[in-house]
A and B are shown apart, each in its own frame.
Chain A
Amino acid sequence: MANLANPTVFLAVTRRALPWLALATAALFAVGLWAALLAPPDYQQGETVKIMYIHVPAAWLSSFIYVVMTAASLGTLVWRHPLADAAQKAAAPLGAGFTFICLVTGSLWGKPMWGAYWVWDARLTSVLVLFILYLGLVALWRSIEDPGRAARAAAILTLVGCVNLPIIKFSVDWWNTLHQPASVFRLGGPTIAPQLLWPLLIMALAFTLLFVVLHLMAIRNEILRRRLARLTMLAAAEGDALARRFAAGGSGA
């Protein structure tokens, strides 16, 4: 596992593993979508419950990706792991993407069920804050040219922002919210009927595996980007040295 810290080993391992992981993701999505299609309607929500099969996994991922980024930030600041900042940088746009899916699908479920696309409820607002945090982190990485400084600044912002995670999780318990409380991961077991729960769990696994595949691909891109930057600088330095030699030769002639 420690060998994966070596970018060359990481590239070799991901080259072998990615096709299999992508295949497993596609198979899980096929099974999950088929199970979601066949699942019975909810006694209150009717067929609108089908939106839950994409909304809930996206919501879980939006928080999970931030946990991954928090761990990567600790890896950057505390252990100075060579791939930690690449993992943190690669995860931020994916976190924004899955949080966007969570917000939009929640909104499309809210209109027929609550009568409104959006309410300033504690759960919805804290997830919107998470989305803005992801966008802020993407912007921060793009605005600082020196990768080392960008990594440290992004790691600090990520660690500050992780205070939002318990707020998202417990907002439905701490405040009187329109959003329903936890119905799957709760003390006393899930409150969802098994016919509705199984497709949800398969879709959650498919979404998680999709994130793993995309994250590995994005980290691989980051390693290649750094390699390209290093080689371009070397080539430019060689070009400068050649130009100086020519200039020195020219003035001496």
Chain B
Amino acid sequence: MSDIPHIGFIVAAYLVTAAAILAMIGAIVVDYRRLTRALDRLDAAGKGDDAQ
């Protein structure tokens, strides 16, 4: 593999893309968990609504 010209640029491009995509997925999943936990706390306190 290391004989391929410019392999460092190719690997770096794929790594940056993977990191950016994982960061986007991670941010959305973490936000979802935070929101559902907060809504569950409100529900447990009897402040939730039935629409959920």
Contact = CB atoms under 8 A, between A and B. Distances in A.
Nearest to B29: A217
Contact of B47 (A51, A93, A221, A231): A231
Contacts of B51: 8, 227
Main secondary structure of the interface of A (DSSP, over half): helix
Given A58-B17, A210-B21, A235-B47, A48 B32 contact: no
A142 interface: no
A89 interface: no
A105 B13 contact: yes
Given A55-B13, A235-B47, A47 B5 contact: yes
B19 to A, nearest CB: 9
Interface in B10-52: 10, 12-14, 16-17, 20-21, 23-25, 27-29, 31-32, 35-36, 38-39, 42, 45, 47-49, 51-52
Contacts of B28: 214, 217-218, 221
B49 to A, nearest CB: 7
Contacts, number: 91
A227 B36 CA distance: 10
A238 B45 CA distance: 13
7 contacts: A11-B52, A48-B9, A51-B9, A51-B13, A112-B9, A214-B24, A231-B48
B20 A100 contact: yes
B47 A54 contact: no
Contacts of A100: 20
Given A8-B51, A218-B28, A51 B39 contact: no
B16 A227 contact: no
A104 interface: yes
Given A47-B6, A58-B17, A97-B20, A224 B42 contact: no
Contacts of A218: 28
Nearest to B27: A93
Nearest to B18: A54
6 tightest CB-CB pairs across the interface, nearest first? A112-B6, A224-B35, A108-B13, A105-B13, A235-B47, A51-B13
